[in-house]
Structure 1
Amino acid sequence: MKVVVGISGGSGSIYAISLLKVLKELNIETHLVVTTMGEYVIEHECGMKLEELKGLATYFHDNKNFAAPIASGSFKADSMVVLPCSMKTLSCVANGFSDSLLARACDVTIKEGRKLILVPRETPLSPIHLENMLKLSRIGVTIFPPSPGFYNHPETLEEIVLNMTGRILDMMGVENNLVNRWKGL
């Protein structure tokens, strides 16, 4: 399995780090691309430098490198996830504005009919944000706000993050035991 992981400048980079760690543990090939603001937010929120982040991925691609394999539809990835997904990135994807490798890889994922998951981290949402999300959802893109449930009574931030990581893996079709699944009353 091959997964493209994009990190843009929204808050919530802790989810991206968690996903990359789990995919690495599962021996799933990852192709990472990070925006300039994504790099900034990871360092600000998590204290992680880009070099350390690169070590969590199988391959790293510079966001300015349009010659990277993930820029082409002939590169066969099983799915792509952008987390966190800034509203700028979401807007670029919704409007076909491929001004970066990240946006181009999303465009390729859509045109090839592959699974694309966008994890937007913004609140409140404006009508423009909602229209862009609806536009993408109508063409099959999964819009996955990282809104944790509390019915499972998480006790730590790590439990919340791992549960969301497991839910994202579910969307990608990756079996996992990270989700504390609802069993009814």
Structure 2
Amino acid sequence: MSYKKCANSISLAWTGASGAPYGLKLLSCLLAADYQVFLMISSAARVVLATEHDVKLSANPEKAREQLLEYFDSQALSLSGELHVLGKDEWFSPPASGSAAPKQMVVCPCSTGTLAAIATGMSNNLLERAADVVLKERGQLILVPRETPFSAIHLEHMLSLTRNGATIMPAAPGFYHNPKSVEDLVNFMVSRILDHLGIEHELTSRWGYGQSQPQDIDN
């Protein structure tokens, strides 16, 4: 398959951690922002997606691409970007090489297994290689782990990755914006990811803007 170079391109990966709604929302926002998205989906991620969001994706990358576009269309979303779904062995795709890979990549959700593989430079599949490329090329790698509690092994991998330039952004939504739904919590996390990517959005209100001050409470 041939690919065309695009000014706004990004790599996105979904792995087997809980948090499929985060990944779906982030993908829709990237496409709505007119990005070319290279999406990598692990086999465990497909299981999680079917379990948490009732979206069943084919293991065939092109079929999965069609299914995702149909899903977004059913949600009446206006998406102007370009989506490429890549298989784990597509070594000739842009994310596999430092000479062509996007400078930004997000793994959302990120399993602790994927976290470990990236931290140790395993590169056993395209997803791991793509993350390794972004790190070695001094690009922007954001990892969104969803696990609790974290073991010392998990924390050591996070510290190693942070020291090597990655951003660790655990899926830990705040509540100061008074969420009324699960969607509000999802939007909170996705909005923080978009902030770090430098992508404008209106998913949530900004701290200090349009917020009323809490009234003093007598003890």
Into which bin does the TM-score normalised by the smaller protein fall? over 0.9
| 1:118 pairs with one of 129, 143, 148 | 143
Which residue of structure 2 aligns with residue 63 of structure 1?
Answer: 88
Amino acid at match of 2:40: V
**Aligned mates of 1:180, 1:146 — CA distance in 2:** 18
Match of residue 133, structure 1, among 132, 144, 158? 158
Shift of 1:67: 2.4
CA distance in 2, matches of 1:25, 1:129: 33
Which residue in 1 is equivalent to 2:53? 46
Match of 2:193 in 1: 168
Match in the other structure for 2:17: 10
Deviates more, 1:116-125 or 1:51-60: 51-60
Q: Identify unmatched segments of 5+ residues in structure 1.
A: none
State the secondary structure of the residue aligned to 1:58: strand
The residue matched to 1:70 in structure 2 has which SS?
A: helix
Counterpart amino acid of residue 17 in structure 2: G
The farther-off stretch of 114-123 and 160-169 is 160-169
Does structure 1 conserve the Cα–Cα contact (< 8 Å) formed by 2:23 and 2:109?
yes
Return the TM-score normalized by structure 1. 0.95
Alignment CA distance shift 1:76-1:70 (3 Å)? closer
Q: CA deviation at 1:54?
A: 6.3
What is the CA-CA distance between 1:179 and the residue it aligns to? 2.6
Aligned positions, number: 185
Deviation at 1:129, TM superposition (A): 0.1
Q: Which runs of 5+ in 2 are unaligned?
A: 1-7, 58-63, 73-81, 214-219
Counterpart check, 1:109 vs 2:134: yes
Of residues 35-44 and 45-54 in structure 1, the stretch that sits farther from structure 2 once superposed is 45-54
Moved more, 65-74 or 108-117: 65-74
8 Å contact 1:54–1:60 — kept in the other structure? no
- In structure 2, how many angstroms separate the alpha carbons of the residues matched to 1:137 and 1:79? 15
1:70-93 CA-to-partner distances (Å, cap 9, x unmatched) read 111111413100011001100000
With the length of structure 2 as denominator, give the TM-score of the two structures.
0.81
Q: Name the Cα RMSD after superposition.
A: 1.4
Contact 1:167 1:179 in 2 (8 A): no
Where 1:153 maps in the other structure, the secondary structure is: coil
Partner amino acid, structure 1, of 2:197: M
1:182 equivalent in alignment to 2:217: no
Q: 2:101·2:133 contact (CA, 8 Å) conserved in 1? A: no
Query: Between Structure 1 and Structure 2, whose CA radius of gyration is higher?
Result: 2
Kindly indicate whether the alpha-carbon contact (under 8 Å) linking 2:101 and 2:134 is maintained by their aligned counterparts in 1.
no
